[in-house]
Amino acid sequence: MNMHISASKKEKIYAVYLAKNKEIIEKLIRINLKNLELEKNFENRRVDIYGISEDEKIEVFIELQLTKADRIHYEQIKKIIENVSDGDLKIIAWLAIEFDNDLLEELKEEIKTANKNIELVIIKINEKLIEKLEDLDALDDFSIVDNLEIINKIENQFQVVYKYYFYDATKDIYHYVSFKVINKEENEKIKFLKEVIEMIRKESYYFLPVYHAKNIAGNKIVYGAGITSVIIQVGIDRWDVLYVEVVFDEQKIFERILSKKEIFDDVFDYRLVWDDVMYKVGVYMRFDENDMERQTKEVARMFDKLLKHIIQDIKRSVLEN
* Residue 254 included in any domain: yes
Is residue 91 domain-shared with residue 215, that is, in the same domain? no
Is residue 170 domain-shared with residue 118, that is, in the same domain? yes
pLDDT at 44: 83
Helix (H, G, I), strand (E, B) or coil at 52: strand
Q: Which residues of 75-105 are buried (b: 16+ CB within 10 A; e: fewer)?
A: ebbbebbeebebbbbbbbbbbbeebeeebbe
Is residue 63 domain-shared with residue 106, that is, in the same domain? yes
* Residue 2 included in any domain: no
Helix (H, G, I), strand (E, B) or coil at 98: strand
Give start and end residues of each alpha helix (H) in 179-281: 188-203, 251-258, 261-267
pLDDT at 164: 73
* Residue 1 included in any domain: no
* Residue 304 included in any domain: yes
Number of domains into which the chain is organized:
2
pLDDT at 215: 85
pLDDT at 167: 57
Beta-carbon contacts of residue 166 (< 8 Å; ≥ 6 apart): 108, 111, 112, 115, 118
* Residue 182 included in any domain: no
Is residue 217 domain-shared with residue 147, that is, in the same domain? no
CATH of the domain at 74: 3.40.1350.10
Domain ends where: 175, 210, 238? Answer: 175
Domain ends where: 150, 175, 200? Answer: 175
pLDDT at 318: 67
Is residue 171 domain-shared with residue 192, that is, in the same domain? no
Q: DSSP string of 161-193?
A: EEEEEE--TTS-GGG--------TT--HHHHHH
pLDDT at 295: 96
Is residue 160 domain-shared with residue 195, that is, in the same domain? no
Residue 246 bridge partners (DSSP): 232, 281
What is the domain extent for residue 214? 188-320
Q: Is the dihedral of CA 110, 116, 119, 125 positive or negative?
A: negative
Domain ends where: 129, 145, 175? Answer: 175
Q: Are 43 and 50 in contact (CB under 8 A)?
A: no
Q: pTM, whole model, 2 decimals? A: 0.69
* Residue 56 included in any domain: yes
Along the 321 residues of the chain, how does pLDDT read in single tens digits?
Answer: 333 333 368 999 999 999 999 998 988 888 899 989 999 988 888 899 999 998 888 999 999 999 999 999 999 999 999 999 888 889 999 999 999 888 888 988 888 888 888 888 899 998 889 999 999 999 988 999 999 999 998 878 888 777 777 655 444 332 222 223 333 334 788 889 999 999 999 999 999 999 999 888 888 999 999 888 899 999 998 778 999 999 999 899 999 999 999 999 999 999 999 998 899 999 999 999 889 999 999 999 999 999 999 999 998 876 565
Q: Are 39 and 46 in contact (CB under 8 A)?
A: yes
Is residue 169 domain-shared with residue 192, that is, in the same domain? no
Q: How far apart are CA 177 and CA 56, in angstroms?
A: 13
Is residue 288 domain-shared with residue 161, that is, in the same domain? no
Is residue 41 domain-shared with residue 165, that is, in the same domain? yes
Is residue 224 domain-shared with residue 263, that is, in the same domain? yes
pLDDT at 155: 79
Q: Are 284 and 272 in contact (CB under 8 A)?
A: no
* Residue 297 included in any domain: yes
CATH of the domain at 246: 3.30.1460
Is residue 75 domain-shared with residue 166, that is, in the same domain? yes
Side chain identity at 103, as an amino acid letter?
L
Q: How far apart are CA 42 and CA 270, in angstroms?
A: 41
pLDDT at 173: 35
* Residue 308 included in any domain: yes
Is residue 193 domain-shared with residue 130, that is, in the same domain? no
